[in-house]
Amino acid sequence: MRGRLALLVAAVSVLVLTAFLVPLALLVRTVAADRATVRATADAQSLVPVVGTADPDTIRLTVEQLVAESGRQVSVFLPDGTVLGSAVPRTPAVALAARGQSLTAESAAGREVVIAVEGRPDGTGVIRTVVPRSELTAGVARAWLVLALLGLLLVLVGLVVADRLARTLVRPITELSAVSHRLANAELDARVDPAGPAELREVAGALNHLAGRIQVLLREEREQVADLSHRLRTPLTVLRLEAESLRDPDDAARLTAAVDGLERAVTGVIRQARWRSATPDGGAGCDAAAVVGERVAFWSVLAEDTGRTVTLDLAPGPLPVGVGEDELAAAVDALLGNVFAHTPDGTPFTVRLAPAGHEVTLTVADAGPGMPAGSARRGASRAGSTGLGLDIADRAARTSGGGLELAAGTDGGAVVVLRLGPARS
């Protein structure tokens, strides 16, 4: 945009200056020629009294003195045909002046000035002088150069002013674009400092209002998700207590397992909704060792109840990663929840957290039957699929700049590797 404005101003400046400077240059040339002509005419007219009254010798001396002073050809044609001064042939202009008419004519040598002198007893004398073309254009080239430099200077000044003006327009637009990209990257605290013309300030205000409105809507949705969580937890707890109070152990185990499955599904749905509605922290990180250790300790209680052996290989912390504590906890819960949901009771599993270069690697491996076909498709929550949990974990990994990898274990089962990028300052 700056380039186009500069080009526009340059084109307009050149057109305007051309419209003014070309006539001015022609006027300068005309003035210079007229000034030289007037000067030559005045010199020639100074001879009129001498030519009209003096004898030929006096006229000759006066003419020679004038030629020496002016450097121009000066000739006096007497009525008897005598030529005094510069010896030149009679020209049509001289012949016309001999009839009593003074005039100025153009010739190959320059501008010819002839003056008729009447009052001599023997007839009409003629004074002729020639203004050479070098004198007609004296100083014109320098004046044209000055005008050209002046025009160039004015164009450069116009370009500088246009660039300054374009910068005042482009800078607010660039800032608007940058803030729009930040908002698209979920940095909802990004705001534009209104600047520039009134229209751009109005756009900046509207963008700030939009960002604020998005934050309000996300906050309301987050509160609704939290309320949904509390509303669903209560009836699930009641169902669990009712199932445990049954006298028949088989019925109690069957209903408790159903309640566990329902609770895991509800937890996944709530975490998924919370993930999508929560406002990202814009690059804040957490200690992966502390979060993984706390979540494994939480799930170890359920593992003990279901007869599962948990092997935790946790590198000493802190291990900072570029994902928030809540998001990482949701990802660990999703991966461990998949183990409990898709492997039989008593299946052992391993959780390993270790640094790998500039990343931190979280590996969850189990000795179960392995992942069903199509389970790696994100967001696919069909029967027998772990798409929901993997989607949560994959989002957390990509937030930190890492990724999610799936593989089969050497002894069967599934291996999920979560690569977490470093915390951003």
Could you give all domains of the chain from N- to C-terminal order, each with its CATH number? Answer: 1-45+139-184 (no CATH), 54-132 (3.30.450), 185-280 (1.10.287.130), 281-425 (3.30.565.10)
> Would the pLDDT of 339 be above 70?
yes
* Residue whose structure tokens are 């009052």: 119
pLDDT digits (tens, 9 = 90+) for 164-185: 888 777 788 888 888 888 888 8
- The amino acid occupying position 27 is L
Contacts of 113 (CB under 8 A, 6+ apart): 37, 40, 41, 44, 104, 128, 129, 130, 131
Q: What is the pLDDT of residue 423?
A: 77
**192-196, 246-250, 288-292: lowest mean pLDDT where?**
246-250
Q: 158, 9 in Cβ contact below 8 A?
A: yes
Q: 299, 309 in Cβ contact below 8 A?
A: no
pLDDT digits (tens, 9 = 90+) for 257-309: 777 777 766 766 666 665 555 444 444 678 889 999 998 988 888 888 888 89
Q: 420, 362 in Cβ contact below 8 A?
A: yes
Sheet hosting strand 123-132, strand order edge to edge: 83-85, 73-77, 123-132, 110-120, 103-106
Task: Tell me the average pLDDT across 64-88.
Answer: 88
- pLDDT band at residue 372 under the 50/70/90 scheme: low
Task: Tell me the average pLDDT across 92-104.
Answer: 89
